[in-house]
Amino acid sequence: MSGDKLIHVTDAEFESQVLKADKPVLVDFWASWCGPCLAIAPVIEELAGDYDGRVVVAKMDVDKSPATPGKYGIRAIPTLIVFKDGQVVEQITGAVGKAVIESAINKALS
């Protein structure tokens, strides 16, 4: 992963990278044309560094991988979902502050 703490997942990799992960995974469902998605991108990158080793932080481009967002009923982006042991434990829709996302991550870690 070239030192980048953030991973990019596709529909094909979702099960192995997210559902079968041995730690909680925060997935940012986004698109390149989505202003709010781009606005929270630096926060997502910061969280990837803050939680490195404890939480996997992943981004999924909904235009390139439409099956997974469809499966989870995602209608609006950005949507952030925290998965733990293959299950959805938290879901946040919209551009929110870092504290809101941290709270969701911390619930999954507890």
Residue showing tokens 């909904």: 62
- For residues 91 and 64, what is the distance between their CA atoms, to the nearest angstrom? 21
Q: Each residue's pLDDT tens digit in the chain (110 positions)?
A: 334 689 999 999 999 999 999 999 999 999 999 999 999 999 999 999 999 999 999 999 999 999 999 999 999 999 999 999 999 999 999 999 999 999 999 999 98
In a domain, 27, yes or no: yes
In a domain, 81, yes or no: yes
In a domain, 61, yes or no: yes
Instruction: Supply the pLDDT for residue 53.
Output: 94
Instruction: Supply the pLDDT for residue 3.
Output: 47
From the list 25, 37, 62, 95, the catalytic residue is 37
- For residues 89 and 100, what is the distance between their CA atoms, to the nearest angstrom? 14
What is the domain count for the chain?
1
From the list 18, 26, 34, 58, the catalytic residue is 34
In a domain, 1, yes or no: no
pTM of structure: 0.94
Is residue 105 among the annotated active site residues? no
Instruction: Supply the pLDDT for residue 4.
Output: 64
Is residue 34 among the annotated active site residues? yes
The tokens for 30 are: 């986004």
In a domain, 74, yes or no: yes
Residue 94 sits in a domain of what CATH number? Answer: 3.40.30.10
Residue showing tokens 């990799």: 13
The candidate with the shortest Cα–Cα distance to 44, out of 11, 77, 66, 70, is 77
In a domain, 13, yes or no: yes
Helix (H, G, I), strand (E, B) or coil at 50: helix
The conformation of residue 82, written as its DSSP 8-state character, comes to: E
In a domain, 97, yes or no: yes
The tokens for 84 are: 């733990």
Domain containing residue 39: 6-109
In a domain, 80, yes or no: yes
